[in-house]
Chain A
Amino acid sequence: MAETAEVKVGVYCAADNEVASAIDLEALEKVALTEMKAALYRNHPNLSSAESVEQIRRDIGEHGLSHVVILDRSARAFPGLFEFGPEVMVDLVPLRELVIWTHDANDEDTQMLAEDYLRMYVARTKNLKRPEPQELAVERRVLVIGGGVSGMRSALDIAGAGVPVTLVEKTPALGGWAAKFTRSFPTKPPYDQLQNGDMVRELAERVNGDSAIDVLLDTRVTEINGQPGEFEVKLENGGAPQQLRAGSIVQATGWRPYNPERLGELGYGKKNVVTNVQLEQMFANGSVLKADGTAPKSIAFIQCAGSRDKEHLPYCSGVCCRASLKHAMQLREMYPGINVYVLYKDIRSPAQYELFYQKAQDDPGFFFTKGEVQRVDEKDGVLAIDLDETLLDEPITVEAEMLVLATGIVPTTSVEDGVFAPGGGEENKPDTRIRDEREEGEVELELLPSGKKVAAGAEKGAKILNLTYRLGTDLPTLKYGFPDSHFICFPYETRRTGIFAAGCVRAPMDQAQAMMDANGASLKAVQALEMTAHGQTLHPRSRDLSYPDFFLQRCTQCKRCTEDCPFGALDEDEKGTPLPNLARCRRCGTCMGACPERIVNFQNFNVPMGNSMIKAVEVPEELEEKPRLIAFVCENDALPALEIAARRRMKFNPWVRIVPVRCLGSVNTVWLTNCLDAGFDGIMLLGCKHGDNYQCHFVRGSELAEYRMENVQEKLQQMQLEQERVQVSAVAIDEWASLPELFDDYYEQIEEIGPNPFKDF
C-alpha cells in the first residue's frame, strides 16, 4: 500500500461560476501540481457533463493516470457517473458541500480550507488501491435448521430458486407446532372462517416430495465451522454422526410455550386448568373434557398468561389473542351451549384479523372482559377468577368450569424455560464485555451487567448452531433472546454473516407471517451464495470487494480485533493470532480501528490513508490564531447529514477539517495521537447512537469507539493535554440542523482551553 512509482494522480476541479467566483482556482492548481505532485490538473466548467467524463477518460489513457481526484460534489450526487474501469481509483471530494456552500466566498479561510481538502484527498488517494475480489468456490447448498412452517417454506423457496437444501429437524416429523394444531386463523376473505390444518400437511408433503430437498429427521446440528460459502456442518442423525457442506444457513428453530409451572398464581396446577397448547392437544384428540370426563358448560381464557409481564415474558407474544378466539370458536362449535369468557388486557387482532374478532363479538356465547386477574380459586369443581375490572374499576369474579391460560411464545434461542433474570432484566446481553476480565484468563466468559457470566455471544442454555466461532456458539441476541438486527429496516441482517433467522425464533408471529418471513430469509440465504461467490460482502456495505488484510508478522496476539469484530469474523489460533474468515467479514473496519500495531488495513481504506490526510492539513502556527479542528465522520449517517446541511446552505465553522470513515469503529487511535502531534487543537468523532436503540449500521462500532476513547483519555493525560481535546458525539442523519452549532460549541470549548501546546513543534 506504500506509494509506488506507478501512482499518477489527475486532479479535476469544478470551475463553473459558483466555484470560480468563490475560491482561487489558480492557487488550487499550484497546490495540486507543485506541492502535491499531481500529474495533471484541470478545471472544467461542467465536470459532470458527458464531454468532461470523456476528457477524463482520454487523460487516463494518454497520461497513464492511476488515480483521479474530482473536486465537485459528493458521491451521492453523481450516481454511477465517474467509473473508469478496475484499474483506476476515483476519489470524489465534496468541494461544494464542504467548502463552497458552507463557507464565505473569497475568504482567506475558505481558500485554506479548499486547499487543505485538495491536499488531503490527493495524499489519501495515493494510499488507496482498487480491491481485487476474493472469489470463493461456494457450496451451492443451503442448510435449513428446523422443519416447522418457517423451515419448510424456506426449503421450498430455496429449492424453487434452483439451490439444493438440507433440512434438519430434531423431532421425528416435519411441521413443528403448527402440525399439532387442528385449525388455524383465517387468512383469506372473508377472514372470519377458521382454516383446517391441511396447509401444514401439504407443505410437508411437498417438502418430502421435492428432490432438491434432503430432509433429515431426528437430527441435530452438533457443530458448524467455516464461513459463508463453505460452512462445514456436523450433524447427529439418530445418534449417528454425519457431515455436510453448506454455503448459507436459515435458522428456523421456532419457539416453545412459556413454562406454565411458573403460572401458579393464575391457577396452573389446579384441576381443570390447562394451557392453550394443552387445549390444542385436546382438540387434536377429538374432545375437550374436564378432569371428571364430562363436557364443560363454561370456560374462561386468561390472556397474556405470562406475557406482557416483567416477571415473566416482558414482550407480547402476539398470537395468543387470536389463538384464544380460535379456540373459543372451536369450543362453540363443539358445544353450542357453552359460555366462553375471555379475560384480556387488549384484544390484539391486527389487520384483517379484526374481522375474525368481530365475528366472535357477534356470537352471543362470548363474553369479553377487560381486566387484571388477581387470583384464581377452585371450589367444588368451579374455578373462580377474581379480577380488577379495568372499566368499572371494581373487582368482579368470573366463574367457569374450565380455565385456559393463553401462554406465550419463547424463542428457542432463549434460555431453557424462557425465564429471564429476576425483574425481567435482559440477562442475555452478549458482548458487554469487560476486557480486563479476559486478561485474567477467562477467555470464554463475559461479565454481564448483572455480574453474571455467560459464554460470549451465546445464550445461556441455548446451543443450536454450535458455531465454533471465537465469539460464541449462536446468533447474538438483542433483547429477550431474539437475534440482533436492525429489525425495522433490515430484518434479516444478523451478526453472523450468511446465517439468517426466520419465523418465531426471530420474533413472535403467526403462521402466515412466519411463511412470509421464511420467504425473506430464504432470499437472503440464496443471495449470500451469489455475493460470496463474487467476493462481495453483504449488507450494509453490500458488494464491497475490499477486505481487511492482516500483516501477521507484526501481530502481538493482543486479541483486540478478534474480540471487537461485531460479526465474529475473526477466530484465533492457540497463541491468539487472528484467523480471518473473510466471507464472514462485513468490511466495517472495526478490526482496523482496534489494532494497536496498525497491521489491519483495507486496500481502499487504511491507517496510512488516515495518517496521510492528517499530515496533509496545513496547521498554521499559534501566532496566526487560526485553530485547526478535525472531525472523523461516519459516512453512513453523519456525513449525509453534513451534506444535507450544506445543501441547505448552513454555514460551518471554518477551522474544521472533515475525514469520512466507514464507521467510528474503524478509527484507529493512532490517528488521534497523530492529530495531536500535528498540532490539531481538537478532535471530534461523529457517529451513530449506541445502546439498546442503537443506530450504528455495524452494531457496535460507535460503542467501541467510545470505549476506546477511555484509552485515549489516558494518552491525553500522559501528554498533559485536556480531556476536551477529543469529543465523541452521536449524530443521526436527520440531525443536520444541529451540526453547525455542534462545531461551534466544540470550537468554543477548545478556545477556552487554548491551543494545542504541541502545535509549533
Chain B
Amino acid sequence: MDEQRAAYDLLVVGGGIAGVTTAIEAAEAGLTVALVEREPSLGGRVARFHHYFPKLCPPSCGLEINYRRLREHANVRVFTLASVESIEGDSPEIEVTVCVRPRYTNPVAFDYGEWAKTCPVDCEDPFNYGIGRRKALYYPWDNAYPPRWVVDERAVDDPAFREWAQGDPAGGIDLDQRERTVSLTVKSVAWATGWRPYDASKLDRLGFGELPDVLTNVIFERLSAPDGPTGGELTAPSGREVNRVAFVQCAGSRDKDHLPYCSGVCCAVSLKQASYVRERLPEAEIHMFYIDVRTPGRLEDFLQEREQDPRITLHRGKVAKVEQVEDGLAVTAENTLTGDRETVTVDLVVLATGMQPTAAVEKLAARAELDENGFFIQDDEPAAHYGVGTAVRPLGVAETLQDATGAAMKALQMARRS
C-alpha cells in the first residue's frame, strides 16, 4: 500500500513541542512540511507534565495554540503512529520512507468516551509510565491532536476485544487497517527526536524499582496532573500517608558512571514539584538534596521564593543511598566537599532523573554527527540534517523552542538554496 511520492520542503521527525513548533513556524514562513510522530498524538513529553516552571502554567495552553495553527494550515501534513524507515540521497532530494502504523479507527464525530468504559480489555499505560492501565480503545489524552480515538495494537488480535468491537455504535473502528508506507522527497530534515528520562533502575542504591515510594520526576508529574492516574492527588504508591518528601538531584546526571553532563533542567523541575507538594499537602516538609542549584536567568526568583519557604529545606549533598526503614525511607547524602554525611527520613522520594537524547538509546537514520552521549553536535549553519532542541543538548522548554524556531530558519535556507 504505497502512497505516491510526495514532495515537501521540510521533514520534521518528532512531534513533541519542538517538532510541532518547527513545523508550524516553517509552514507559516511559506514552506511545505511533513511532520512524523511515532505516538498516536502530538505533544511528546510535555503533554505529560502538569505545569511548566517558572510560570506554573499548563503545557496544553501553548500546545492548544499551536494545534490551532496546525489544524488550519494546509501546508503541514501530520503523520502520527509513523516512523522514518530509511533515508537516501542528499538535499535537495532527500528520499524518505515513512512507515505509518494503523490506528484502527476512522474519524467520526461520535466520541467513544462512554462506550469505551465497557471495553473488556485493558493494557499497561505507557502515557502514565506504567502506572495504572488503560482501555484498549483509548483517547490519547485530553488535548490529543489529532483528536481521534486509537485502538491499542496490543489488543487488536485479542478475541475478547474483537468481539466487543463488533458492537461499535458509530462505525469508527476498523480492525482491518494495515501498516502502510509513504515516500517523501524533502530538502532537509529536522530531527526533533527529543529525550527520554534516564533509566532510574540503573542507579544502584537509590531504590527505584525496588522501593515502591521511590519515584522519578517524570512519574511525579503524572501523579500531580489532573488527568493523571490519581486525578492529581498526591499519594504514595504504597498507600503510606505523605508528610515528608525528598527530591534527589542529579540522579544519574553529572556522574561519570551514568550521564556525565548536567541535565540542566532538573533543579528547576524539583523546585517546581516542591510547589506541587506545597499546594496539595500544605503541611508536608520538603527536602531537596543538591550539588549546585542550577536555575539560571530569571529562574533566580523562582529559586529564592522557595528558599524562603520554611517548609522547604535545601541540603547540599549527593545522595548515596535510599533505604527502607521503619518509619519511611532514609535518604543519606554525602557532602562531596566536606565528606559529611546526613540522613533524613521521608515518606516519598523523587529522583530528579536526567535527560538522555533519543539517539543514545535508538539508532536514527540521521546523516549527522553525534557526540558520544548521543547528542547532535550543535551547528548554527543550515544543513541537510540538523538536531533540534534536546536532541542537541539538555534544555528547558523555553530554550528548546528558541532552537525549534531556529531550525525552521535552517529549513528555509535549505529550501531557498535549491
Which of A124-132, A289-297, A514-522, A655-663 has 4 or more CB atoms under 8 Å from chain B? A514-522
- Selected from A96, A308, A519, A695, the residue in CB contact (under 8 A) with B405 is A519
Determine whether A72 belongs to the interface, using a CB cutoff of 8 Å to chain B: yes
**Separation of A232 and B198 alpha carbons in the complex (Å):** 52
Which of B156-164, B173-181, B207-215, B409-417 interfaces with chain A? Answer: B409-417
CB atoms of A77 and B142 under 8 A apart: no
Quick check: B405 and A491 within 8 Å, CB to CB? Answer: yes
Nearest residue (CB) in A for B169 is A17
Chain A residue numbers with a CB within 8 Å of B394 are: 350-351
Contact A318 B401 (CB under 8 A): no
The answer to the question of A37 belonging to the interface, with a C-beta cut-off of 8 Å to chain B, is no
Interface size on A, residues (CB 8 A): 97
Distance, CA A524 to CA B225, complexed state (A):
33
Please state if A350 and B296 are interface contacts (CB–CB under 8 Å). Answer: yes
Whether the pair B413, A507 counts as a contact (CB closer than 8 A) is no
- A488: chain B residues at CB < 8 Å are 52, 55, 57, 62, 397-398, 401
A697 and B295 alpha carbons, distance in the complex (Å)? 26
Picked from A308, A352, A482, A689, the residue with its CB within 8 Å of the CB of B300 is A308
Contacting chain A: which of B23-31, B81-89, B92-100? B23-31
- The verdict on B226 contacting chain A, using a C-beta distance below 8 Å, is yes
Tell me what chain A mostly uses at the interface: helix, strand, loop, or mixed. loop
Q: A80-B71, A489-B61, A542-B69 are in contact. Are A640 and B299 (CB under 8 A)?
A: no
Contact A350 B109 (CB under 8 A): no
Q: In the assembled complex, which residues on chain B have CB atoms less than 8 Å from the CB atom of A522? A: 409
Chain A residues whose CB sits within 8 angstroms of the CB of B253 once the complex forms: 354
Tell which of A489, A518, A530 touches B28, judged by Cβ atoms closer than 8 Å.
A530
- Give A347-395 interface residues, CB cut-off 8 Å to B: 347-355, 358, 368, 370, 390-392
Give every chain A residue within 8 A of B410 (Cβ-Cβ): 519
* B-facing residues in A46-65 (Cβ within 8 Å): 46-48
Query: Which B residues lie within 8 Å of A162 (CB)?
Result: 416
Contact with A79, one of B71, B110, B262, B407 (Cβ below 8 angstroms)? B71
Whether, in the assembled complex, B64 has its beta carbon less than 8 Å from a beta carbon of chain A, the answer is yes
Give min CB distance, A662 to chain B, whole Å.
12
Q: Contact check: which of B57, B295, B337, B399 meets A732 at CB < 8 Å?
A: B57
Q: Give the distance in Å from the alpha carbon of A317 to the alpha carbon of B296 in the complex.
A: 7
Are A346 and B293 within 8 A (Cβ)?
Answer: yes
Chain A residues with CB under 8 A of B71:
76, 79-80
Chain A residues near B325: list those with CB within 8 A: none
Q: Are A523 and B29 in contact (CB under 8 A)?
A: yes
Selected contact of B30 from candidates A101, A530, A649, CB within 8 Å: A530
A391 near B335 with CB under 8 A, answer yes
Complexed CA–CA distance, A370 and B2 (Å): 62
Judge whether A189 and B298 touch: CB under 8 Å.
Answer: no
- Segment of A256-264, A710-718, A733-741 in the binding face: A733-741
**Are B413 and A157 in contact (CB-based, < 8 A)?**
yes
Check: B204 CB closer than 8 A to any chain A CB. no
Most A-side CB within 10 Å, residue of B50, B56, B413: B413
Chain A hits for B321, CB < 8 A: none
In this assembly, does B393 line the interface, its C-beta being within 8 Å of a C-beta of chain A? yes
Kindly state whether residue A722 has any CB partner on chain B within 8 Å. no
Interface-located stretch among B276-284, B358-366, B373-381: B373-381
Flag whether B367 is at the interface (Cβ < 8 A). Answer: no
Contact B316 A391 (CB under 8 A): yes
For residue A16, CB closer than 8 A to chain B, the reply is yes
B372 to A: closest C-beta gap in Å? 7
Residue ID in chain A nearest B407 by CB atoms: A519
- Chain B residues numbered 377-394 whose CB sits less than 8 Å from any CB in chain A: 377-378, 380, 382, 393-394
Cα distance A637–B62 in the bound complex, in angstroms: 9
Interface flag for B6 (CB, 8 Å): no
Q: Select from chain B the residue with minimum beta-carbon distance to A542.
A: B69
Chain A 718-751 interface mask (CB, 8 Å, partner B; 1/0): 0000000000000011111100000000000000
A78 touches B109 (CB 8 A): yes
- A180 close to chain B: CB less than 8 A: no
The 8 closest A-B pairs by CB, nearest first: A519-B406, A489-B62, A520-B405, A734-B58, A346-B292, A523-B409, A350-B264, A354-B262
Beyond contacts A187-B378, A527-B28, A542-B24: 14 other A-B pairs, Cβ-Cβ < 8 A, are A18-B110, A46-B109, A79-B147, A350-B264, A351-B394, A391-B337, A492-B402, A517-B406, A518-B406, A543-B28, A640-B64, A640-B143, A648-B113, A693-B57
Q: List 14 interface pairs A-B (beta carbons < 8 Å), by A numbering.
A: A77-B147, A160-B416, A189-B371, A316-B295, A318-B297, A507-B297, A508-B296, A512-B378, A513-B399, A520-B401, A520-B403, A520-B405, A523-B406, A526-B29
